[in-house]
Every structure is written in structure tokens, then in C-alpha cells.
Amino acid sequence: MNKDIEILRKLAYEYRRCIEDDRNSEKAKLHTASNDLHMIRPVVLIDELPWIR
């Protein structure tokens, strides 16, 4: 049980680091502005990388 708690704490720490990263907060601002119809710049999402085989 203690091992599980340790693993979950490490994962929560990594998750929080990703959330607080400056790049991700900037992307969140862009998405929010776009959804509020006050677009700062277009949000570009690339789902597939066709040049990689």
C-alpha cells in the first residue's frame, strides 16, 4: 500500500509540473481566448504526423 502511495505522489508531482509549465499556461490562455471569441492568435492542433512512417 505504501508503495502505491509513493507512486501516486510521484505521478501527481509530475502532473503538477506539467500544468505549471509556462508553455502549457500560454496554450491554456490561447484556448480560453479562442473559446471566448477573443482570439489572440489561432490555435493549431496537429493530430497526425504524416511525414513519419
- pTM over 0.85, yes/no: no
The pLDDT score that the predictor gives to residue 52 is: 62
For residues 6 and 49, what is the distance between their CA atoms, to the nearest angstrom?
Answer: 36
- Decide: 24 and 18 in contact? Cβ < 8 Å: yes
* Spans of all domains in the chain: 2-35
In tens, the pLDDT along 8-52 reads: 999 999 999 988 888 888 888 999 999 999 988 888 887 777 776
- Decide: 33 and 20 in contact? Cβ < 8 Å: no
